[in-house]
């Protein structure tokens, strides 16, 4: 077995091996957050609620009671609802579309406007006048109101005040509720009278429809007046522009034969007189030129022989045909007869006559061709002169037609605007009788049951308010009560290792020694853990000399001293427990010993310490009581005798445990801590505030900085479950839980 292992045995006789490190190590075990995870936040909330459950329950019950009383005292209210439908519409005074794209197709603004119109003061005034609610006693009683004071006011002023009061009441109790994903709107009115609620809801819907019609008529009337003025202006402009067009046409001599309108309504001049004449003469000139060329070709062809005219002339063709026949007949006769033959001579005479006739006819045709050429040339020249004159005239009109087009476009623009506004004016004339975009869908009926108070809702609200107030109260109490509850917080908040946690017990029924006698008890296991953790605080195992103290009295300091001494002594180590709390000694009472003489005697001058030690039932445990209470305890503890005494006792005993007075106010604990190896600091769970504990530890460290660790006492089940040691170690190890009445008043 290694030399640095100390063999100890628990109450069951099982060995406990504890290693003595070369340097002191922080305590390990129950609740040390250095070796385990912090407690989940929800678990902390749960046990915080358990701790303050009665406070929370009281606040919640009080809130429910107040909510119930308020509900019983509330006047029943009845809500009636009428439903209307509003369709999207877009009114236009002209046919010109809106040029702002952001305003097109946006229905949100339209319906928001309608909602505001439904909540308008003017609509409330209409309902007041329709139902005659001004000064109506039944109406005022349904709202718990009274007529305002009227003394000293004129009759008109009184009516105005009553009207204003009634309208304000209506606006205060009316509710406009859009139906989701539809164009329907519910008009709800709430009052103490079912009939008044239904009447006002229906009247509100009807008056809204009528007000919409009125607004429509008002808007069309204004539009008609506006359009009448614009039409008069445009009519004057149209007439003037037409006069300017006619006058300019007359001045420039432009005669228009035909006009046409394009798709945009613009007039386009298709033909003028000059253009038509130029077109006709140009066509004739082309024909005349062609005739002249043809005549020239005929004349020029005459000099080269037969022309087409002579060839195609029927008379010449007939004579040539006859001549050919006669010449053929003459040639046949010449085969048989001489030229002088009479028949041959006659044929020759006929051929000569035909030849003369053909020549005469050809001469006539040639003369006719020459005459035709002269006539064609004269006609061509005449037509060419006229075309040139018309071309010059048309060119001048082309320049003038630019200004004519400007006059024509002005006429077209004025005519289009005039026709458009005139059409819109006619439409507006019948707009008042057009279908309304607002319709009454459902009329309000008399409500059969009250809409308020709603008992389930009120109870839920009261419950939520109670839970909220309870949470605030618990938070405030937690902030005020700063005691240490979570074992994991010892190291985090104090910087001191946690040696162990001790559960809460009832020492009035059983003493600490009786509780420690049970090897399976939670107390026994707790102090065994503390003793084991102490073995890791020094190189030689459990400290030979240590002091046990606390911040204030009644934290379990003395109980811890006795239990720790008893636990160490059961391992066979000679242990001495000294009661150094000479202001309020209690160890001799707990162990049923006398206190005739003790520590105070030794510090006052006696030297025989062995005579002052008392035995206990445990042969390894001995006690030195405090002795008579001295008037100057601090002076006795500050002398060197205490230090020498502790050194002498440490040579005779394996372990010396000193039970000191609390740290707060008294100087005893710092004086004693300077004479021992270190201190075990006892902290009562949910006891002194953290700042007080920190102050006490700081005072101790000013005398002896060595603090072995802290012991958290009186730990309840809810607090113990924050950490690992008690909630898991004890509960899991032996299955013991803490009873509801296991509250200890140690010391």
Cα 28 to Cα 36: distance, rounded to the nearest angstrom: 10
What is the residue whose two structure tokens read 């539009």? 223
What's residue 741's pLDDT?
35
Instruction: Report if residue 248 sits inside a domain.
Output: no
**pLDDT over 80 at 704, yes or no:** yes
* Residue 236 zone, left/alpha/beta (φ > 0; ψ -120 to 50; rest): alpha
**pLDDT over 80 at 408, yes or no:** no
Greatest mean pLDDT among 41-50, 158-167, 442-451, 542-551 lies in: 542-551
What's residue 23's pLDDT?
35
Question: What average pLDDT is seen over the chain?
Answer: 79
- pLDDT interval class at 443 (50, 70, 90): very high
Helix (H, G, I), strand (E, B) or coil at 260: strand
Which tokens hold the place of 428?
Answer: 């507006």
Helices (H), 496-620: 512-517, 522-534, 557-569, 587-590, 599-604
Strand partners, 624: 578
Cα 715 to Cα 721: distance, rounded to the nearest angstrom: 9
What's residue 268's pLDDT?
53
**pLDDT over 90 at 517, yes or no:** no
> Is the domain of 415 the same as that of 494?
no
> Is the domain of 658 the same as that of 544?
yes
What's residue 743's pLDDT?
34
What's residue 558's pLDDT?
95
101-105, 187-191, 359-363, 682-686: the lowest-pLDDT one:
101-105
**pLDDT over 70 at 400, yes or no:** no
What is the residue whose two structure tokens read 């009447």? 199
- Residues whose CB is less than 8 angstroms from the CB of residue 745 and which lie 6 or more positions away in sequence, other chains included: 507, 508, 554
Helices (H), 303-341: 308-312, 314-336
Cα 660 to Cα 525: distance, rounded to the nearest angstrom: 24
Which tens digits make up the pLDDT trace of 120-179?
A: 999 999 999 999 998 888 998 888 888 776 665 667 888 888 899 999 999 999 999 999
**pLDDT over 50 at 28, yes or no:** no
> Is the domain of 523 the same as that of 665?
yes
> Is the domain of 333 the same as that of 402?
yes
What's residue 99's pLDDT?
42
Which tens digits make up the pLDDT trace of 309-319?
A: 555 567 777 77
Helix (H, G, I), strand (E, B) or coil at 342: helix
- Residues whose CB is less than 8 angstroms from the CB of residue 54 and which lie 6 or more positions away in sequence, other chains included: none
Instruction: Report if residue 477 sits inside a domain.
Output: no
> Is the domain of 414 the same as that of 492?
no
Domain count along the chain: 2
What's residue 297's pLDDT?
73
Which tens digits make up the pLDDT trace of 99-111?
A: 444 554 457 888 8
Entry field: residues in the chain: 747
Name the domain boundary from 433, 449, 469.
433
Spatial contact of 513 and 566, defined as CB atoms under 8 Å apart = yes
**pLDDT over 70 at 482, yes or no:** no
What's residue 116's pLDDT?
92
Cα 36 to Cα 29: distance, rounded to the nearest angstrom: 9
- Cβ-count burial 186-221 (b if 16+ within 10 Å, e if not): bbbbbbebbebbbbbbbbbbbbbeebbeeebeeebe
Instruction: Report if residue 105 sits inside a domain.
Output: no
Instruction: Report if residue 620 sits inside a domain.
Output: yes
> Is the domain of 569 the same as that of 660?
yes
Angle in degrees, 0-180, between the axes of helices 342-429 and 194-252, rounded to the nearest 10: 140
Strand partners, 269: 259
Which tokens hold the place of 212?
Answer: 């919409």
260-269, 275-284, 637-646, 718-727: the lowest-pLDDT one:
718-727
> Is the domain of 499 the same as that of 397?
no
Cis amide leading into 540 (omega within 30): no
What is the residue whose two structure tokens read 């040339």? 377
> Is the domain of 348 the same as that of 424?
yes
> Is the domain of 408 the same as that of 540?
no
Instruction: Report if residue 167 sits inside a domain.
Output: no
Cα 269 to Cα 590: distance, rounded to the nearest angstrom: 132
- pLDDT interval class at 216 (50, 70, 90): confident
C-alpha distances out from residue 430 to 211, 217, 419, 423, Å: 18, 10, 18, 12
> Is the domain of 642 the same as that of 532?
yes
What's residue 587's pLDDT?
95
Please measure the distance between the N-terminal and C-terminal CA atoms of the chain and give it in whole angstroms.
41
Q: What percent of the chain has pLDDT over 90?
A: 36
Residue 522 maps to which CATH number? 3.40.50.300
> E strands along 20-96, which residues?
78-86
Helix (H, G, I), strand (E, B) or coil at 259: strand
> Is the domain of 427 the same as that of 529?
no
Helix (H, G, I), strand (E, B) or coil at 685: coil
What's residue 303's pLDDT?
52
Which tens digits make up the pLDDT trace of 36-76?
A: 445 577 877 787 788 788 999 999 999 999 988 988 888 89
Instruction: Report if residue 21 sits inside a domain.
Output: yes
How confident is the model over 558-570, as a mean pLDDT?
A: 95
> Is the domain of 363 the same as that of 283?
yes
What's residue 151's pLDDT?
60
Sign of CA dihedral 9, 10, 15, 21: negative
Angle in degrees, 0-180, between the axes of helices 194-252 and 108-118, rounded to the nearest 10: 130
Which tens digits make up the pLDDT trace of 649-662?
A: 999 999 999 999 99
Instruction: Report if residue 416 sits inside a domain.
Output: yes
H or E segment and range at residue 421: helix 342-429
Q: Domain range spanning residue 520?
A: 5-39+486-734
Spatial contact of 16 and 536, defined as CB atoms under 8 Å apart = no
Instruction: Report if residue 670 sits inside a domain.
Output: yes
What is the residue whose two structure tokens read 């045995």? 9
* Cα angle 25-27-29, degrees, rounded to a multiple of 5: 140
Q: What percent of the chain has pLDDT over 70?
A: 77
> DSSP class of residue 537?
S
Sign of CA dihedral 438, 441, 446, 447: negative
**pLDDT over 70 at 260, yes or no:** no
What's residue 445's pLDDT?
92
- pLDDT interval class at 292 (50, 70, 90): confident
């Amino acid at each position: 077995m290694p030399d640095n292992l100390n063999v100890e045995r628990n109450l069951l006789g099982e060995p406990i091996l504890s290693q003595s490190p070369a340097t002191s190590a922080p305590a390990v075990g129950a609740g040390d957050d250095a070796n385990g995870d912090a407690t989940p936040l929800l678990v902390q909330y749960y046990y915080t609620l358990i701790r303050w459950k009665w406070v929370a329950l009281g606040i919640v019950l009080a809130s429910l009671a107040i909510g119930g009383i308020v509900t019983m005292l509330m006047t029943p209210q009845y809500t009636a609802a009428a439903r209307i439908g509003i369709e999207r519409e877009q009114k236009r005074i002209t046919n010109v579309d809106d040029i702002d794209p952001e305003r097109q197709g946006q229905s949100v603004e339209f319906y928001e406007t309608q909602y505001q119109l439904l909540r308008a003061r003017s609509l409330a005034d209409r309902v007041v006048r329709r139902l005659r609610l001004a000064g109506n006693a039944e109406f005022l009683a349904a709202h718990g109101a009274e007529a305002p004071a009227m003394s000293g006011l004129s009759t008109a002023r009184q009516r105005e005040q009553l009207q204003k009061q009634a309208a304000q009441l209506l606006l205060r109790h009316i509710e406009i509720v859009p139906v989701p994903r539809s164009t329907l709107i519910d008009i709800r009115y709430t009052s103490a009278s079912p009939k008044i609620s239904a009447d006002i809801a229906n009247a509100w819907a009807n008056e809204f429809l009528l007000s919409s019609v009125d607004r429509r008529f008002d808007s069309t009337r204004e539009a008609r007046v506006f359009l009448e003025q614009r039409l008069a202006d445009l009519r004057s402009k149209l007439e003037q522009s037409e006069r300017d067009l006619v006058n300019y046409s007359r001045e420039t001599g432009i005669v228009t034969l035909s006009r046409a309108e394009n798709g945009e309504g613009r007039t386009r001049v298709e033909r003028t007189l000059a253009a038509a004449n130029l077109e006709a003469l140009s066509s004739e000139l082309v024909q005349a030129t062609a005739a002249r060329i043809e005549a020239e070709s005929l004349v020029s062809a005459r000099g080269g022989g037969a022309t087409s005219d002579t060839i195609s002339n029927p008379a010449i063709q007939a004579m040539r045909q006859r001549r050919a026949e006669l010449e053929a007949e003459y040639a046949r006769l010449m085969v048989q007869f001489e030229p002088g033959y009479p028949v041959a001579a006659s044929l020759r005479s006929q051929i000569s006559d035909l030849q003369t006739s053909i020549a005469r006819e050809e001469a006539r045709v040639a003369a006719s061709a020459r005459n035709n050429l002269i006539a064609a040339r004269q006609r061509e020249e005449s037509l060419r002169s006229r075309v040139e004159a018309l071309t010059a005239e048309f060119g001048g009109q082309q320049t003038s037609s630019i200004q004519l087009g400007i006059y024509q476009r002005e006429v077209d623009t004025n005519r289009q605007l005039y026709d458009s506004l005139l059409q819109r004016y006619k439409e507006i004339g019948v707009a008042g009788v057009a279908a309304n975009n607002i319709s009454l869908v459902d009329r309000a009926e008399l409500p059969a049951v009250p809409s308020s108070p709603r008992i389930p809702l009120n109870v839920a609200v009261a419950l939520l308010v109670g839970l909220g107030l309870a949470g605030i109260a618990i938070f405030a109490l937690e902030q005020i009560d700063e005691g240490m509850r979570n074992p994991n917080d010892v190291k985090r908040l104090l910087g001191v290792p946690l040696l162990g946690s001790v559960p809460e017990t009832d020492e009035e029924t059983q003493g600490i020694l009786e509780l420690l006698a049970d090897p399976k008890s939670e107390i026994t296991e707790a102090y065994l853990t503390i003793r084991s953790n102490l073995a890791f605080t020094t190189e030689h195992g459990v400290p030979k000399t240590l002091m046990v103290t606390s911040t204030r009295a009644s934290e379990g300091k003395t109980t811890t001293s006795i239990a720790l001494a008893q636990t160490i002594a059961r391992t066979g180590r000679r242990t001495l427990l000294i009661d150094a709390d000479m202001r309020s000694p209690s160890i001799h009472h707990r162990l049923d010993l006398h206190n005739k003489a003790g520590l105070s005697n030794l510090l006052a001058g006696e030297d025989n310490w062995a005579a002052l030690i008392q035995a206990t039932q445990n042969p390894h445990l001995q006690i030195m009581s405090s002795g008579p209470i001295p008037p100057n305890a601090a002076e006795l503890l500050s002398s060197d005798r205490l230090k020498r005494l502790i050194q002498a006792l440490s040579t005779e005993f394996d372990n010396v445990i000193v039970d000191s007075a609390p740290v707060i106010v008294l100087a005893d604990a710092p004086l004693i801590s300077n004479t021992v190896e270190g201190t075990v600091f006892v902290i009562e769970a949910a006891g002194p505030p953290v700042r007080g504990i920190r102050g006490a530890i700081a005072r101790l460290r000013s005398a002896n900085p060595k603090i072995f660790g802290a012991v958290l006492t009186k730990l309840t089940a809810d607090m113990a479950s924050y950490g690992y040691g008690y909630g898991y170690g004890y509960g899991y190890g032996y299955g013991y839980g803490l009873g509801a009445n296991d509250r200890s008043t140690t010391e």
